């Protein structure tokens, strides 16, 4: 199967990676999405935060985590007095996947083929940045970095060494918190989210 490796530039600065990813055709997701949404942040970032894939708002803006999930993430970072501009924020998959229902575009989970195809971009971002800590938001990045057996429900908040980074940790996806119907449970997940980030970031 084709992967993004085919489109990898020899210069792996974040700018040239992003430019190259703009032309990526390693899976079909580029066909319906508005644009490729690459990671955002300085190459000097000590922290890399990894989401699943851009959502509706991100697809239009061309930037990761600018919608409701991004607002929850921003609030958590602000609580911990972390400047979003110092953090590198990215996704496992760089194009938005959706189904149309009327005028709405509903998020669809990327499948394993798409995740596999796109993974070289994330690997290159991490190899270039060499962060102290990687935070996985939800099951998609957690499976990509820890392996398929990882369970966010059981193993979130544990700092684990992986091939990717000495300090790798997973927590809830902010969208999963927003979707939680039970308000008490939602509040608890939000607290856990902030606590996991605090642990990951040594705050
Ligand atoms: N959810 C994600 O996983 N990534 C984004 O960029 C936005 C929402
Ligand atoms: Fe390439 Fe990833 Fe976009 Fe697929 S989703 S076309 S692999 S950048």
Place 201 in a pLDDT band, splitting at 50, 70 and 90: confident
Beta bridge partners of 91: 51
Q: Is there an atom of ligand 1 within 6 Å of 58 CB?
A: yes
Q: How far is CA 125 from CA 40, 113, 138, 188, 193, in A?
A: 10, 20, 19, 32, 24
- Residues 84-103 have pLDDT tens digits of 999 999 999 999 999 999 99
| Residue 1 in this model has a pLDDT that exceeds 90 | no
- Write down the pTM of the prediction: 0.97
| CB 38 less than 6 A from any atom of ligand 1 | no
Interhelix angle 112-129/14-22, rounded to 10 degrees, is 160
Report pLDDT digits (tens) over 149-162: 999 999 999 999 99
- Do the beta carbons of residue 94 and residue 118 sit within 8 Å? yes
pLDDT at residue 165 tops 90: yes
Helix axes 183-200, 68-79, angle to 10 degrees: 60
Is any atom of ligand 1 closer than 6 Å to the C-beta of 53? yes
Q: What is the pLDDT of residue 203?
A: 74
Could you give the C-alpha distances from 191 to 60, 97, 151, 195, in angstroms and in order?
30, 29, 19, 6
Q: Tell how far the Cα of 147 is from the centroid of ligand 1, in angstroms.
A: 20
Q: Which residues pair with 106 in a beta bridge?
A: 99
Question: What percent of the chain has pLDDT above 90?
Answer: 98
pLDDT in tens, 124-137: 999 999 999 999 99
- 3-state class (DSSP) for residue 104: strand
């Amino acid at each position: 199967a084709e992967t993004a490796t085919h489109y990898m530039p020899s210069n792996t600065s974040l700018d040239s990676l992003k430019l190259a990813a703009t032309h990526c055709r390693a899976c079909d997701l580029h066909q319906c999405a508005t644009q490729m949404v690459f990671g955002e942040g300085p190459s000097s970032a000590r922290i890399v935060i990894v989401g699943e894939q851009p959502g509706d708002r991100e697809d239009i803006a061309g930037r990761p985590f600018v919608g409701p999930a991004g607002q929850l993430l921003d609030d958590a970072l602000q609580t911990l007095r972390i400047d979003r501009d110092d953090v590198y924020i990215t996704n496992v998959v760089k194009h938005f996947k959706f189904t149309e229902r009327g005028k709405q575009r509903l998020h669809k989970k990327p499948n394993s083929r798409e995740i596999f195809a796109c993974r070289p971009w994330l690997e290159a971002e991490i190899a270039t940045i060499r962060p102290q800590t990687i935070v996985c938001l939800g099951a998609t990045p957690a499976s990509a970095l820890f392996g398929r057996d990882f369970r966010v429900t059981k193993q979130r908040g544990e700092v684990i060494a992986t091939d990717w980074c000495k300090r790798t940790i997973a927590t809830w996806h902010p969208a999963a918190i927003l979707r939680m119907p039970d308000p008490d449970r939602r509040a608890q997940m939000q607290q856990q989210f902030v606590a996991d980030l605090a642990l990951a970031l040594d705050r």
